[in-house]
Structure 1
Amino acid sequence: MTMASLRFLPLGQIHVSFGDVHLTPGVANHRLVLPVQVTGTWLDAQDPASNAQALVTGTVWTEQPSFRWVAGLEPQALTLRGYAAGEELVVSLTDDQLICLERMRGQDDATLRLKLQATLLTPPDGVHPVAHEELPVRIPRSRWQELLEQAGTEVGVLVRVSSPLSDPDLTAAPAASDEDAASLAQATARLRQARAELRDQQWEHCVATCRRVLENTSRLAVVPSAKSVTDTPAAQRTQDQRWAAIFHDVKSMCSAAHHDDSTTEGFSWSRADAEAILAATAGLLGRYTQQR
């Protein structure tokens, strides 16, 4: 059992023992609930009138693969007793955060690091009202998978692409215009634009924007030409050529939303079309730029 002790010397301590974590699924945001038993050691367990109030706040960090910020705990006002009383500490996690935590844990248990702060609301004279404690909360792999299954019907698939806000170290050949520049920041900005267009139900615009992402991708990485791919029998293509075949086919599909002429007459675009193109574009951008 995981335990924490927050010390208010010479008054006493707040003991916090953690139970099994559970998850309350929501709409794109979920409540990770940490049940706790809380005791004020200086209080009389036999006297119902013996109590104290404390405000518990804190932050949550990852331990895998490195120490990174996740979220803040929801502030919780507690009434302390001389015996263990049940309370809940809650952290809100988005779909993306759940998926990132799942990816980072690998094959291990999921481990979060809590930095707790308790503030006595009416401290006795001579007692500093604030105490801190830091501790890991380990969620066994089997339990973590159960939690993800609970939220599974509410969580979409995330394709993670490194997304810098600028390219300060980029050295690329001069381009005819800013729109033609080889820029990972620009490519990922366009990807976010396509996602926003998908959200706004602009299916054709979303697909057309994906074409611009792929054009930038081909400036960032060496993609075998469409001719070199088609001139090679499918069974004899290298791995790079087979990736290039996917790249050129997706780009060809996107081009149909970019052009409005006889070659695209009869084309129509649905949510499923836009989602598939957006996922494929994000995957290709991630695959080619991770090799830079």
Structure 2
Amino acid sequence: MASLRYPPFGQIHVSFKDVQLTPGVANHRLVLPVQVTGTWLDAKDPQSNAQALLTGTVWAEQPSFRWLAGLEPQVVTLRGYATAEELVVSLIDDQLVALERARGQDDVVLRLKFQATLLAPPDGVHPVTSEELQVRIPRTRWLELMDQAGTEVGVLVRVPSPLTDSALTPPPATSDEDAASLAQAAARLRQARAELRDQQWEHCVATCRRVLENISRLVSLPSAKSVADIPAAKRTQDQRWAAIYWDVKSMAHAAHHDDSTAEGFSWSRADAEAILAATAGLLRRYTQR
């Protein structure tokens, strides 16, 4: 319950109900149903009403106090009795995944900084007031909401993507094309993601190949031959990672090559998604230790 005070005029009481979730396409509506009442209004008079603008921000308390999103602003009509309204927070896939990961086995706890502005305040009444309160979503209810989201939520790989190489001192290169550049690798990865979005499956895989080539310039990797010469069961952890790298690069190498090495290859969305995810994971693993 929140009580927004407008002394000496009255209060807006806001009572919160069970949180709801409306799944969308990579973006979802977390809905906080509320009952709002203007205490200074006459509950028996249907003409007694007032308008208020509801705004606010939402912060996640787990694992530490972090910005999450803003409430969607809305104008509500207040009455002397409780009326139903909805406070809405838009969350992308990444944010749902982050909230789920951060809560562990606990409830989801949000911190709501809530503000109400009277649009036609009486003389002498300051029109803006705010209150901060905790919104707790019980673990069992949260799991129900995640089940509702279902397959609408994708698993995303977050890879730090620097825009410059100011902190990097790569070895000298014979040309810009051969330069070791984390910024260039990240830019190519963003390009591959855009090509996936534009349904250019083969282009996406070919761009991933260029990201993989940059990885081998940024870090020292066991050669493909040295890895192949060791039985899989006897490889070290670094050698097994290198084996994954060389296999992904070998697969991606067939894109945009019209020689015999690419004969019979065709690329689907699932193929491009798999190569992009593997490339993103390898870039993060080898450059963010």
- TM-score by length of structure 2 reads 0.92
The C-alpha deviation readout for 1:94-124, integer Å capped at 9, x for no partner, is 2233223323333332222222221101101
Query: Which residue is 2:274 aligned to?
Result: 276
Matched positions, count: 289
Unaligned runs of 5+ in 2: none
How far off its partner does 1:258 sit?
A: 4.1
Aligned to 1:94: 92
**Matched letter for residue 105 of structure 1:** R
Q: Residue 160 of structure 1 aligns to which amino acid in structure 2?
A: R
Using the TM superposition, name which of 99-108 and 11-20 deviates more.
Answer: 99-108
1:34 Cα shift?
A: 0.4
CA distance in 1, matches of 2:11, 2:218: 58
Tell which deviates more after alignment, 41-50 or 238-247: 41-50
Please name the residue that 2:7 is paired with. 9
1:122 maps to which residue?
Answer: 120
- In 2: Cα distance, 1:264 partner to 1:233 partner: 27
**Cross-structure match for 1:153:** 151
Q: Quick one: percent identity of the two aligned structures? A: 82
- Residue 80 of structure 2 corresponds to 82
The SS at the match of 1:263 is helix
- Alignment match, 1:135: 133
Unaligned runs of 5+ in 1: none
The AA in structure 1 aligned to 2:227 is V
> What is the CA distance between 1:41 and its match in structure 2?
2.4
Deviates more, 1:103-112 or 1:278-287: 103-112
Partner Cα distance (2:105, 2:169) in 1: 38
Question: Any idea what SS the aligned residue of 2:203 has?
Answer: helix
1:168 aligned to which of 166, 169, 173: 166
The CA RMSD measured in Å over matched residues stands at: 1.9
Matches within 5 A, 1:10-89: 10-89=8-87
Q: Secondary structure at the match of 1:240?
A: helix
Offset at 1:234? 1.0
State yes or no: 1:252 paired with 2:250.
Answer: yes
8 Å contact from structure 1 (residues 28, 154) kept in 2: yes
Task: Tell me how far 1:274 sits from its aligned partner.
Answer: 0.9
When normalised by structure 1's length, the TM-score is 0.91
The Cα of 1:203 is off from its aligned counterpart by: 1.0
